[in-house]
Structure 1
Amino acid sequence: MLIYAIQSCSWGKFQVMGKYYNYLYSTPNEMEEAMNMCEVQHFAYFKTYLKDVTGGTMIKAMKEKNWNKIAELYNGLDYAKNNYHTKMKNEYDKL
């Protein structure tokens, strides 16, 4: 049961879902241990999400500043209900 809980949580500074563990780790427990180790592991998992889980689509959307696509990939099809795309654009515009 614990492995299902691990897969159901968002992990690390970038809050990547545990269900993608198999793109970088052998088991959910291995992923959990890595996430509890250090922020370098958080970044490695996020990088794997960007490149492998989304097939590079997220990176393309980021380069194009396509806030709708970024929000959809990261938060799911209902992203607009919480205005994730608008919030990201607004924060980016503050930079």
Structure 2
Amino acid sequence: MVPAPEEHFNRLWLEHAPAVLRYARRRVDDEQADEVVAETFVVAWRRLAEIPAAELPWLFGVARRVSANVRRSRSAAPEAPSRSACIGPGVV
């Protein structure tokens, strides 16, 4: 008997989310790690029927690519100007 998609996903989350979070924290900061886990499981939900029997290695592969994308997008984002730069020169 094949479990319903929601049951399969819930089991996947309960069994593997802590390991994926530990994996992500070794690659990005804590805030980004939460983002990596969330996006990893969004991909897992979308591709639920394609996940192989070796689920955790597959999730780690997804998390690796998501981590790389997060790091790349954060490093490419321009820094916000400081408050003094916004006010302009000579203005106190």
TM-score, normalised to structure 1, is: 0.24
Larger Rg: 2
- The structure with the largest strand share of the pair is 1
Q: Relative contact order (C-alpha < 8 Å, sep 6+): which is higher?
A: 2
TM-score, normalised to structure 2, is: 0.25
